[in-house]
Structure 1
Amino acid sequence: MEKQITKHYTNGEVTVVWQPHLCVHSAICFRGLPTVFDPRKRPWITTEGGSTVAIVEQIQKCPSGALSYFMNTQVEEQEPVEVETETIIEILPKGPLLVYGNLKVKDAAGNETKKSQVTAFCRCGQSGNKPYCDGSHVTAKFEG
């Protein structure tokens, strides 16, 4: 199982939270805002490259939840923001099952986790972070 690291990047107004073990490598982040998210650079997130509004809008498109944020005037440990929308399920070709909306996920041990916005579930069976997708479908060359 991949080491579960959490990194924080801030511009003083918003803090970007990155959890690489959740990433499904959709590339939505750097295709949408390459001045902030550039995997060729170290660090790969430079919050000075975009406005707070642009950063927040781009993070909200992250299908896995690997990227999240909090405003520096808030406490990081607050409950997730609940999305007011119907639940939508989308199957990504050769990738995870994306569920949009507010969810309560119960693991095999009975532990419950609240999820909101977009949650990526493993379809290939190879994830080290089941039931969530960790991007293993790429190396497994998953077809589905």
Structure 2
Amino acid sequence: MDNEIIKQYTNGELTIVWKPAACIHSKNCWNAITGMPQVFDPRKRPWIDMSGGPSSAEMAQQVRSCPSGALSSFYNHPVMQDQGKGAPETPAKNSGEAAIRIKVLPNGPLIVDGHCAVEDAAGNSVVKTESTAFCRCGFSTNKPYCDGSHSVKGFIG
């Protein structure tokens, strides 16, 4: 996407990056039970407010729970870049572990975790890293990717 919108929010220590086009509206970030509504509130502008909230490490952990990869984060100081990250999850050869993992979200998209190449009908290939959300409902205006239309259309599946 050449004109992709990318927004960044920072508290000076941590920067949260949001890619609206990748958001599938899973509500993981602002759900009152599993999210951080004091940081992520889609009713406010800006919708991400990192002031006075939880620690940077807690916010980074919450961001990692975003199933679509629309949210990501990085520490602003290079020494802290690896904070909160474990060793990369690379499956051992012949270990029985998959290089990618595919999850079906209830009433939502397919989530592909891991590196994959997506080829369109014209033969153009795009390499996706991290998590990619693929449309299952058929309503997305950004096929083959999910745009959150399943929520609006009431998709059950």
TM-score band, normalised by shorter chain: 0.7 to 0.9
Greater relative contact order (Cα < 8 A, sep 6+): 1
Counterpart position of 1:23? 23
TM-score by length of 2: 0.74
Does residue 71 of structure 1 match 2:75? yes
Alignment partner for residue 33 of structure 1, among 27, 33, 36? 36
Alignment partner for residue 59 of structure 2, among 49, 55, 58? 55
CA RMSD between the two structures: 2.2
Query: Displacement of 1:45 after TM fit?
Result: 0.5
Q: Tell me if the contact between 2:110 and 2:134 (Cα under 8 Å) persists in the aligned partners.
A: yes
1:46 to 1:132, Cα distance in 2 relative to 1, 3 A? same
Unpaired stretches in structure 1, ≥5 consecutive residues: 75-81
Q: Tell me if the contact between 1:28 and 1:61 (Cα under 8 Å) persists in the aligned partners.
A: yes
Report Cα offsets for 1:7-49 as digits up to 9, x if no partner: 1101112211112222111111012212211223221101122
Q: Tell me if the contact between 1:83 and 1:101 (Cα under 8 Å) persists in the aligned partners.
A: no
1:106 to 1:55, Cα distance in 2 relative to 1, 3 A? farther
- Aligned AA for 1:123? R
Aligned length: 135
Does residue 42 of structure 1 match 2:42? no
Tell me, in whole angstroms, the C-alpha distance in 2 between the residues paired with 1:108 and 1:33. 40
Larger radius of gyration: 2
Tell me, in whole angstroms, the C-alpha distance in 1 between the residues paired with 2:50 and 2:68. 20
1:112 to 1:13, Cα distance in 2 relative to 1, 3 A? same
SS at match of 2:127: strand
- Aligned AA for 1:113? V
1:37 to 1:113, Cα distance in 2 relative to 1, 3 A? same
Unpaired stretches in structure 2, ≥5 consecutive residues: 79-87, 92-97
Q: Answer with 101-110 or 40-49: which moved more.
A: 101-110
Does residue 112 of structure 1 match 2:126? yes
Does residue 88 of structure 1 match 2:109? no
Query: Displacement of 1:61 after TM fit?
Result: 0.6
Tell me, in whole angstroms, the C-alpha distance in 1 between the residues paired with 2:90 and 2:63. 18
